[in-house]
Amino acid sequence: MAVMNPYNYSRPKKFINTNPVTFEPSEKKSENVIGNRTNQYLEQKIMAAKPEELTYMLYDGLVKFIKKAIIQLGNCNYQEVNYNCQRAQSIIDELRSTLNMDVELSYSLEQLYEYMGYKLVNANVDKDEKQFAEVLKMAESFKDTWKEAFNIKG
């Protein structure tokens, strides 16, 4: 049975480094080369990915940033909690914006994403690990289901 992809992706035109790193003058040259190679690798990986793999990458990033927010919450590093929570919210916004509303499943997914975004905002404001954990559980479920449905190696 074929699985219909409810997302409608176009290839990204430009990659923006959302995590700028500053280096000391003595290590600037060698570290910058490594950073550029990483960015080039990521760009090539994204450009070569199938739409289903792009969605999986988004789910993977969503899980990663929620986990980082939970870890930083435990460390009382609220600036990093906020940063990682905002990154997770951006991924949810991307998932919502790329839904193909011609596919019936998209309406249910949009409602779930809206709920997840709402819970992330509340978790960030209240610094509530339980709310982060609830969204993490949903995100991991989406990630695992997507991986299995499209037989993605990850």
Q: Which CATH number do you get for residue 135?
A: 1.20.120.340
So what's the pLDDT on residue 89? 97
Report yes or no on 101 lying in a domain. yes
For residue 3, what pLDDT is reported?
59
Domain interval for residue 111? 50-149
Q: What per-residue confidence (pLDDT) applies to 25?
A: 42
The verdict on residue 19 lying in a domain is no
SS3 for the chain is CCCCCCECCCCCCCCCCCCCCCCCCCCHHHHHHHHHHHHHHHHHHHHHCCHHHHHHHHHHHHHHHHHHHHHHHHCCCHHHHHHHHHHHHHHHHHHHHCECCCCCHHHHHHHHHHHHHHHHHHHHHHCCHHHHHHHHHHHHHHHHHHHHHCCCCC
When divided into structural domains, the chain yields a total of 1
The pLDDT, as a whole number, for residue 44 is 83
What global pTM score does this model have? Answer: 0.76
- Residue 144 in any domain: the answer is yes
Residue 50: the pLDDT is 87
The low-confidence residues of the chain, meaning pLDDT below 50, are: 1, 11-31
83: in domain? yes
